[in-house]
Structure 1
Amino acid sequence: MEISENFRHVLKTYLEPVRLYHALGVVCVIYVGMLLTRLMQRRKTLKAAFEQFPGPPGHWLLGNTNEFQQDGTDLEKIITFGENYPYAFPLPFYHRQDDIAYRFLTAWIGEGLLVSAGQRWFRHRRLLTPGFHYDILKPYVKIMSDSAKIMLDKWETYAKTQESFELFQHVSLMTLDSIMKCAFSCESNCQTESGTNKYIKAVYDLCDLVNLRFRVFLYHIDFIFHLSPHGYMYRRACRIAHKHTEEVIRKRKEVLTKEKEQNLSQKKRNLDFLDILLCARDEQQQGLSDEDIRAEVDTFMFEGHDTTASGLAWILYALACNPEHQQKCRVEIQQALEGKDSIEWEDLSKIPYTTMCIKESLRLYPPVPGMARKLTKPMTFFDGRTVPEGCIVGTSVYGIHRNATVWENPNVFDPLRFLPENTAKRSPHAFVPFSAGPRNCIGQNFAMNEMKVGTMMTLKKYILIQDPDHVPKMIPRLVLRSINGVNIKIKLVEN
């Protein structure tokens, strides 16, 4: 009896809710303390390794995190740092060294081509490459043209009033419409349905939440982020995005099953990215698992519409700011189309000046402003300085594209930089809007074609006018955006 009474006393004492919360609080404090200790040890090791790399001073714990205020000046700070500390400089943050921010994406897009590595990445890349052959891309041009026409017809109201309007939301819907029709043979009607598109909204939220999690130290701890309001918002947005892609996959599987049962030929419709994804087989005749398929669909659904939307929105903005180049493009486009209302594959090769303007915009406003890789072995620079294995090396595409030692007057819009004779004088890595090397963007030809089509269709119908009252403030998210939107005015081209 005495033992039983003592046991009840212990339960009452230590398992009361308040005391339980105290215990959990102590555990959290110990965990965070251990994390900070490991962080400081790692910081000490890296400080010794980086003595040969001078860089901007930072906080003893937070590093340079507070340098970046998300106020539209962050990208220019990278340029300034690059001028003061040429080639490479340390930029300590408080995030764990295995993050590279990509870890925060896996709950959303799984381990698709963007975040996978090793043999998994190599196998998937090999299986997916046929989906971007020009024979597959060729029929997409007409579809992209039709999607762009829907968007441009909606703009007639703005042309009549000449009021300023925000580009990004319109272009995002257009590129989503195109990707759904081209890659997944799915009529989305997203440009004509009323209200805000749930998938577009989810992608915006996910991009913002990934950026927020990267910047907030405690959110790097999975269970703390999971229990937070932002963690709940992230999971809700993931569910919306996954529901969207799962529905696309389900419908296609039904179509393929019906075709197989009825012994129908796929010649009745164009072979697309999803067909190749579902039917791809390696040397052992093994296809992709259902989980792999959803990861690649989620990845391409996001990358195939959001990065292209960013690129095209900034292209139209750049042309609005440079009317003389815009008019040269318009004349070239009118000559190439010869009065046609839509664009065909062969027309894309008839616009060399417009293509140079598109590349110059991608230089000034790269859709993906930066990327990072974790070193699997030490990397030595040409001047003999070495970065140790295990470090994350960030590459600022924005900084490369505005490097004054490579580009004369780097902030000036000058499409003649991309004349063949001028391009030949530069390193092939001076212009990398789609990255470079084996992990370059698998869909870059798809994206370039869509940006060409969107630019051609827009300039054929409208004159783009800069809005001096709405100057965009660039901000690096997963793609290049603007805090205050990308606004222009338009008017109809006089025939």
Structure 2
Amino acid sequence: MPRLSLSWLGLGSVAASPWLLLLLVGASWLLARVLTRIYACYENSRRLQCFPQPPQRSWLLGHLGLIQSSEEGVLYVQDLVRTFGDVCLWRVGPLHAVIRIFHPTCIKPVLFAPAVVAPKDKIFYSFLKPWLGDGLLLSSGDKWSRHRRMLTPAFHFNILKPYVKIFNDSTNVMHAKWQRLISEGNTRLDMFEHISLMTLDSLQKCIFSFESNCQEKPSDYIAAILELSALVAKRHQNLLLHMDFLYYLTADGRRFRKACHLVHNFTDAVIQERRRTLPDHGIDDFLLAKTKSKTLDFIDVLLLTKDEDGKTLSDEDIRAEADTFMFGGHDTTASGLSWVLYNLAKHPEHQEHCRQEVQELLRDRDPTEIEWDDLAQLPFLTMCIKESLRLHPPVMAISRCCTQDIKLPDGRVIPKGVICRISIFGTHHNPAVWPEPEELHRTDVRHERDEGGAGADAAALSGAARPRGAAQEA
């Protein structure tokens, strides 16, 4: 048997068995990977020295944990924006680097880069994969492009218009519940909780044509969606639980699996039931009848849509898109609406102006509910909503992972392999972009109201209407 000299390890000559050779090859491969990774981190660290960074917690943790999902975390982001202005370096542990971006000039090269150069960062999105599958939020490349084209008809005005009646009905249920609580002596309520149930109620009707009455009685499906959203956010804050095999050993991981199973069963049951009711022919007549009866929902569109080759979506794809829109639609909308009401309550003069605008629009009308065509006739309310979204964006940030170097306008380069954290909140509160970003232009509002009426009033109110340097950034 051939012998292998290991004298350089102080082991002398040993029999060169296949298992030993395999072990040596494996150890060499692992060592090469580790050394390559260490060198890449060292090289990136050297190239990232041109980016300023705030003080780290330690060399081991880096900046991990400095930004929490709390008011203190939001204030810390504001401090970062005021201190660094456009970008800063953020360390996640000793090896991972993140570039936080707060200014449109630095955001543009990242978002305008091809999808293969700056794809979605998969760390956070991977937590959603077992729940949302390969829907528009998580898919990429050709699959994303194909699904995006196929879903475009779902957002045609003729499909969206009837949904306004659904929104009115769901809102009326919420208002009736508030009136009942007031009559019972309650003077406080959790606004976000009530509005979340209202948006979930609306989405179930628009996506599934399903009447859950979730605003009035418990719903296992709605409870599962709320639990999944909370569990994903919680997992993101714990670095150890980013590893799937550890997470699913925990109580939260088991709850996540159970809730996913419940949500998927509900969506699958709706899809199968709807497939049985679809006609084998006469699709155009079927669509016309559904549209006239105002019952065409998201599942109908997904079941009937075809790509340019005549291929339809699979049941798995339909479930992924339906679950994605339930997740993406309820929480962000509820957050946006809650902050709008909060900001109007802080500024009663603007709240009264909005009320007068709506009452003037609905004067001598029957019915008195808002309709689709009315939405374009509320300029001041629209500006209030936009300004609230600037102050409190429902999505605080998005992430991209650089697969190639990306050059910024000032000449600095974001190296390949680095994650870019595009701070929507930070950009909206950047004093280099918005003058006095924390405040409404209330003095200008009163002045322009005297000079130019509601249209000028609305333009003056919304800081989002006229960002500093907007023309140059566009």
Amino acid in structure 2 at the alignment position of 1:318: N
Alignment match of 2:122 (pick from 83, 89, 99): 99
Q: Tell me, in whole angstroms, the C-alpha distance in 2 between the residues paired with 1:341 and 1:384.
A: 57
Q: Would you say the 8 A contact 2:170–2:201 is kept in 1?
A: yes
Partner of 2:452: none
Alignment match of 1:380 (pick from 391, 394, 407): 407
Matches within 5 A, 1:342-381: 342-381=369-408
Partner of 1:67: 66
TM-score under structure 2 normalisation? Answer: 0.76
Q: 1:35 to 1:115 in 2, by over 3 A?
A: farther
Mean alpha-carbon deviation: is it higher for 268-277 or for 345-354? 268-277
Partner of 1:223: 245
Q: Tell me, in whole angstroms, the C-alpha distance in 2 between the residues paired with 1:109 and 1:420.
A: 35
Amino acid in structure 2 at the alignment position of 1:245: T
Partner of 2:111: none
Q: 1:165 to 1:183 in 2, by over 3 A?
A: same
Alignment match of 2:312 (pick from 287, 304, 320): 287
Q: 1:35 to 1:313 in 2, by over 3 A?
A: farther
Q: Would you say the 8 A contact 1:406–1:430 is kept in 2?
A: no
Partner of 2:212: 188
Matches within 5 A, 1:160-239: 160=183, 161=185, 163-192=187-216, 194-195=217-218, 197-239=219-261
Alignment match of 2:434 (pick from 389, 397, 407): 407
Q: 1:425 to 1:90 in 2, by over 3 A?
A: closer
Amino acid in structure 2 at the alignment position of 1:104: F
Amino acid in structure 2 at the alignment position of 1:211: A
Give the share of equivalent positions with the same residue, in percent: 41
> The residue matched to 1:305 in structure 2 has which SS?
helix
Instruction: Give 1:35 deviation, angstroms.
Output: 11
Q: Tell me, in whole angstroms, the C-alpha distance in 1 between the residues paired with 2:181 and 2:141.
A: 49
Q: Would you say the 8 A contact 1:379–1:388 is kept in 2?
A: yes
Instruction: Give 1:317 deviation, angstroms.
Output: 1.4
Q: Would you say the 8 A contact 1:369–1:396 is kept in 2?
A: yes
Query: Aligned pair 1:44/2:50, yes or no?
Result: no
Alignment match of 2:330 (pick from 267, 285, 305): 305
> Aligned-pair RMSD on alpha carbons?
3.0
> The residue matched to 2:394 in structure 1 has which SS?
coil
Flag the structure with larger Rg.
Answer: 2
Partner of 2:162: 139
Q: 1:325 to 1:257 in 2, by over 3 A?
A: same
Matches within 5 A, 1:419-438: 422-423=465-466, 427=470
Instruction: Give 1:127 deviation, angstroms.
Output: 0.6
Amino acid in structure 2 at the alignment position of 1:301: M
Q: Tell me, in whole angstroms, the C-alpha distance in 2 between the residues paired with 1:321 and 1:418.
A: 14
Alignment match of 2:137 (pick from 114, 121, 126): 114
Partner of 1:149: 172
Instruction: Give 1:117 deviation, angstroms.
Output: 0.8
Q: Tell me, in whole angstroms, the C-alpha distance in 2 between the residues paired with 1:370 and 1:190.
A: 30
For structure 1, the 5+ residue unaligned runs are 1-32, 432-495
> The residue matched to 2:422 in structure 1 has which SS?
strand
Q: Would you say the 8 A contact 1:100–1:373 is kept in 2?
A: no
Q: Would you say the 8 A contact 2:386–2:462 is kept in 1?
A: no
Alignment match of 1:318 (pick from 330, 343, 353): 343
Instruction: Give 1:181 deviation, angstroms.
Output: 1.6
Q: Tell me, in whole angstroms, the C-alpha distance in 2 between the residues paired with 1:421 and 1:365.
A: 12
Q: Tell me, in whole angstroms, the C-alpha distance in 2 between the residues paired with 1:158 and 1:104.
A: 38
TM-score under structure 1 normalisation? Answer: 0.73
Q: Tell me, in whole angstroms, the C-alpha distance in 1 between the residues paired with 2:227 and 2:32.
A: 32
Q: Tell me, in whole angstroms, the C-alpha distance in 2 between the residues paired with 1:54 and 1:130.
A: 46
Partner of 1:474: none
Per-residue CA distance 1:296-322 (angstroms, 9 max, x = gap): 011011112221111111111111111
Q: Tell me, in whole angstroms, the C-alpha distance in 2 between the residues paired with 1:420 and 1:44.
A: 43
Instruction: Give 1:42 deviation, angstroms.
Output: 5.3
Per-residue CA distance 1:415-451 (angstroms, 9 max, x = gap): 64566995487538989xxxxxxxxxxxxxxxxxxxx
Partner of 1:330: 355
Q: Tell me, in whole angstroms, the C-alpha distance in 2 between the residues paired with 1:301 and 1:391.
A: 31
Alignment match of 2:423 (pick from 386, 392, 396): 396
Per-residue CA distance 1:54-83 (angstroms, 9 max, x = gap): 111222222211212444211221121122
Instruction: Give 1:347 deviation, angstroms.
Output: 1.3
Q: Tell me, in whole angstroms, the C-alpha distance in 2 between the residues paired with 1:211 and 1:423.
A: 33
For structure 2, the 5+ residue unaligned runs are 1-30, 98-120, 442-457
Partner of 2:53: 55
Q: 1:105 to 1:417 in 2, by over 3 A?
A: farther
> The residue matched to 2:398 in structure 1 has which SS?
strand
> The residue matched to 2:307 in structure 1 has which SS?
coil
Amino acid in structure 2 at the alignment position of 1:199: Y
Amino acid in structure 2 at the alignment position of 1:235: R
Q: Would you say the 8 A contact 2:208–2:298 is kept in 1?
A: yes
Partner of 2:448: none
Q: Tell me, in whole angstroms, the C-alpha distance in 1 between the residues paired with 2:61 and 2:32.
A: 16
Q: Would you say the 8 A contact 2:231–2:252 is kept in 1?
A: yes
Q: Tell me, in whole angstroms, the C-alpha distance in 2 between the residues paired with 1:295 and 1:79.
A: 36
Q: 1:37 to 1:173 in 2, by over 3 A?
A: farther
Q: Tell me, in whole angstroms, the C-alpha distance in 1 between the residues paired with 2:215 and 2:75.
A: 35
Instruction: Give 1:279 deviation, angstroms.
Output: 1.3
Amino acid in structure 2 at the alignment position of 1:303: G
